[in-house]
Amino acid sequence: MRVCLGDLLRTIDGHDAGTVEWMLIDPSSLRVKSIVIRRGLILRHSLVVPLSELEVRQDGEKTALVIRRTRAALDEFPEFQKELYTGELIRRLTGERASPFYIPQWIPPASLEEPPPPSPEVVELGEIVRTIDQANAVLHRGAAVVTADGERVAHLHDLCAALPSGELVSVRVRYGLPPRELELPPEAVGSADDGVLSLRW
């Protein structure tokens, strides 16, 4: 059995748990570690669910992906804070930012002057956040698909991982106008980063 972007999951007591919106991938092994499910229609929120919490249930002739929690216990999973996994929080904590373009004889306004150095506590917290960021590549539908030399050629349409291993088993991309779909072999994936899937080709 496998879990894919867009899958609807159920709780162990038979309620809708949410829809798979993101996948958190280990960049070193290219295996999915956790999924992020979106809950609610009006008051939306997202939860990080480890792959180890998923199981396959047979209900008559139907097969369903189930989270091993009741609906009441779903909130025990941590809330997904995208900025924690994508480096945005590091920039906020430490003041890291992209340098402005160099323009000769240009004097930056006061707002672009170097901020004071962060405190040791903030630096330590920044390193913890950096570790979380570097251990997870965050992918979703619409993520960029680039070639080995960095050219964007498509966007991610679907991504599936085997249960319970997390190994990638299906990668579907969309490219061109009008959009066409293409199934890529999982071994074509060379690396993963936040919002970017890089191919070996």
What CATH number is associated with residue 45? 2.30.30.240
| Domain contains 116 | no
| Domain contains 115 | no
Entry field: residues in the chain: 201
Count of domains forming the chain: 1
**pLDDT tens over the chain, length 201 residues:** 899 999 999 999 989 999 999 999 999 999 999 999 998 777 778 999 999 999 988 777 778 899 999 999 998 999 998 877 776 665 665 555 544 444 445 555 555 556 667 677 766 766 776 777 777 889 999 999 999 988 999 999 999 999 989 999 999 999 988 989 999 999 999 999 989 999 998
| Domain contains 109 | no
Place of tokens 């950096």: 130
| Domain contains 46 | yes
| Domain contains 20 | yes
| Domain contains 38 | yes
User: Residue 9 sits in which domain range?
Assistant: 2-81
Alpha helices in the chain (DSSP H): 82-86, 88-94, 120-134
